[in-house]
Amino acid sequence: TRELEPAAAVGGPGGARLRGCRCTADRKDADVTVISRSPQDPDDVVLETAEAGRDAVLAAAARARTAYAGWAAAPATVRSAGLVAAADAVAGATDELAALVVREVGKPVTEARGEVARTVGILRYYAQAALLPEGDVLPAPDGRSLLHTRRRPRGVAGLVTPWNFPLAIPVWKAAPALAYGNTVLLKPAEEAPACAQRLAELLSAALPADVLTVLQGGGETGAAVVDVADVVSFTGSEAVGGIVRRAAAERGVPAQCEMGGQNASIVLPDADIDAAAAAIAGAAMGYAGQKCTATSRVVVVGDAAGFGERLAAAVESLAFGDPGDPKTALGPVISEQARDAVVDAVAEAEKAGARVLTGGTATGPGWAVAPAVVVDVPDGQRLLREEVFGPVCAIVGVPDVDAAVAEANAVRHGLVAAVFTRDLALGLELPGRLHTGMVKVNAPTSGVDFHAPFGGSKSSSYGPREQGLAAKELYTETVTVTITP
Ligand code: UN1
């Protein structure tokens, strides 16, 4: 058996490790069943479904390869129409899908509805992207040949996705894969099998048979999918991402891995402090901080304790509770282990001398933990260097802009950073000095524009960017063609 769950050095089990492929504690027989339970009410079993073993993955891959011949050869207009029909189907199921996201992964309903809308937008975007020019015509060396480039799909795309965006992430990988002529094997997170199953039903009904197949399961299923794919895209923990990219490299297939973040928001003394506190509160605590783009550290130039009080007040004003209530900003975290990881990380920092301004205790119902703001965190504390993947935000004070940049860059991750300032010159300068794949000036670290490239630097990402037109790099290869008459 391939172990896809190495002990995370990070943030306890609730951190990076749970995001990709997790062995469910509830699983009695490790080979047969995936069980998802509602984080709000763990007695509520959302779905119990059979795990796809290696043979099932091989069989699905064979069918996907057969389907590939027809799908890759179909006119782009046909693939585009398929994605438009898929978008319509998802849009038509908005209420049902949002309710399922609330129930299965505890995402607040307003954000869950936003995720459905984003999913529809992504499908429509790639329906159009499929129709864009695909290559260049170059001057011919002999003045009469046609020298040009085309794009060829890779084949069968293996997608391994996390639970925190159980609709949008599978679709922001699958939609470009399909638009450019690949067929798809999707291995969703064990925590969100029902979301994946319903999503796949809707998409598949709009597409030819075997163009998209869902394979439920944990690490072994994921490893099998990676082993049969012609191209791999993964979002989840650093630990699993490392395994995925090595497995793909071994086979010589392209891979893209989006992994953790430990994202800083820098607050400069000239910032609009109330706007910064509101934006950071949302970025740190929205969906209980369970986004790779969440703000985990606030780096304050000047009065860190004062900003801490402002942030704590902004966090306390967020509605914390039932994810089914449209006003709720954060509900429970995904699992008991995730909840304990947050409580432990906060307690550990407090023991080391940090001050907890608000939150950090388990409240229930389900796996709810009160959102925590922590100041005076001593150097070396994991709250400042590791991804906890929960509703906790640490604040550090630094003397000047250079020190703020150094602190922001002092982690091994490099996904996204934010800067809050009214100084346009600094707003233009700092994106070049922050070692992250994305920089937001006067905007929250979380939140993604699906038509723009998404990805990180350093240990946060591997391989080409995803989303936007950048996705074409992964899902196609360039073919240079010379036609001499
Ligand atoms: C967002 O900030 O809206 O797994 C999306 C994640 C990221 C997506 C963040 N890949 O959390």
ipTM: 0.92
- Nearest residue CA, atom 4 of ligand 1? 292
Q: Can you tell me which atom of ligand 1 is nearest the CA of 454?
A: 10
- Bridge partner list, 156: 183
Backbone angles phi, psi at 282, to 5 degrees: -65, -40
- In Å, the largest CA–CA distance within the chain is 78
pLDDT single digits (tens) 76-97: 999 999 999 999 999 999 999 9
Cβ proximity of 445 and 225 under 8 Å: no
> Residue 474 in contact with residue 256, Cβ under 8 Å?
yes
293 lines ligand 1 (CB under 6 A): yes
How many angstroms is it from 348 CA to the middle of ligand 1? 27
pLDDT confidence of 256, banded at 50, 70, 90? very high
- The finding on whether 237 has its CB within 6 A of some atom of ligand 1 is no
Q: What is the helix (H) or strand (E) element at residue 347, kind and residue range?
A: helix 336-351
Q: Is the CB of 258 under 6 A from ligand 1?
A: yes
Q: Is 447 near ligand 1, meaning CB less than 6 Å away?
A: yes
Tens of pLDDT, residues 167-224: 999 999 999 999 999 999 999 999 999 999 999 999 999 999 999 999 999 999 999 9
Among residues 363, 294, 287, 281, the alpha carbon closest in space to that of 323 is found at: 287
Q: Among 79, 15, 385, 49, which Cα is nearest to 198's?
A: 49
The average pLDDT across 381-408 equals 97
Asked if pLDDT for residue 350 goes beyond 80, the answer is yes
CB 436 within 8 Å of CB 140:
no
Report whether pLDDT(464) > 50.
yes
What average pLDDT does the segment 259-282 reach? 97
Strand ranges of the sheet holding 183-187, from the earlier edge strand across to the other edge: 212-214, 183-187, 156-160, 231-235, 255-258, 461-462
Give the pTM: 0.93
Q: Is the pLDDT of residue 11 over 70?
A: no
**164 Cα to the center of ligand 1, angstroms:** 8
Burial zone of 307 (CB within 10 Å; 0-12 exposed, 13-18 middle, 19+ buried):
buried
pLDDT digits (tens, 9 = 90+) for 120-143: 999 999 999 999 999 999 999 999
Span from the CA of 447 to the centroid of ligand 1 (angstroms): 7
What percentage of residues in the chain have a pLDDT greater than 70?
A: 93
- The residue to which tokens 């605590």 are assigned: 285
User: Which stretch of DSSP H or E encloses residue 420?
Assistant: strand 416-420
Q: Which amino acid is at 368?
A: A
Burial label for 269, CB within 10 Å (0-12, 13-18, 19+), is: middle
Ligand 1: residue of 191, 293, 462, 467 to mutate (most ligand atoms within 8 A of CB) is: 293
Q: Is the C-beta atom of 122 inside 6 A of ligand 1?
A: no
Write down the pLDDT at residue 31: 59
Over 50: is that where the pLDDT of 467 sits?
Answer: yes
Q: How far is CA 57 from CA 161, 252, 421, 432, in A?
A: 16, 20, 51, 44
Choose the residue to mutate in 291, 295, 413, 461 for probing ligand 1, maximizing ligand atoms within 8 Å of C-beta: 291
pLDDT tens-digit readout, 23-71: 444 444 445 699 999 999 999 999 999 999 999 999 999 999 999 999 9
Question: 380 pLDDT band (50/70/90 cuts)?
Answer: confident
CA-to-CA separations, 15 to 12, 19, 66, 389, in angstroms, rounded? 6, 8, 39, 5
Mutate to test the pocket of ligand 1, among 119, 446, 449, 451 (most ligand atoms within 8 A of CB): 446
pLDDT(2) > 60: no
Q: Tell which atom from ligand 1 comes closest to the C-alpha of 290.
A: 11
Of the candidates 465, 480, 475, which has an alpha carbon nearest to the alpha carbon of residue 153?
475
Share of the chain above pLDDT 90, in %: 93
Nearest alpha carbon, ligand 1 atom 10: 292
- Closest atom, ligand 1, to C-alpha of 446: 2
Residues catalogued as catalytic: 258, 292
Q: Assess whether pLDDT exceeds 50 at residue 10.
A: no
C-alpha distances in Å from residue 334, one per residue of 155, 196, 274: 34, 16, 30
CB atoms within 10 A of CB 370: 19
Q: Is 446 in the pocket of ligand 1 (CB under 6 A)?
A: yes
Q: Residue 448: CB within 6 Å of ligand 1?
A: yes
Residue bearing the CA closest to ligand 1, atom 6:
292
Taking CA atoms only, the protein residue closest to ligand 1 atom 3 is 447
Overall average pLDDT of the 465-477 stretch: 98
Report whether 218 contacts 51 (CB < 8 A). yes
**Alpha-carbon Rg of the chain, whole angstroms?**
23
Is residue 115 in contact with ligand 1, taking CB distance under 6 Å?
Answer: no
* pLDDT attached to residue 9: 30
Residues comprising the chain, all counted: 485
**Region 259-274 average pLDDT:** 97
Mean pLDDT, residues 282-311 taken together: 98
| Confidence bin at 6 (pLDDT 50/70/90) | very low
> Can you name the residues that pair with 37 across neighbouring β-strands?
45
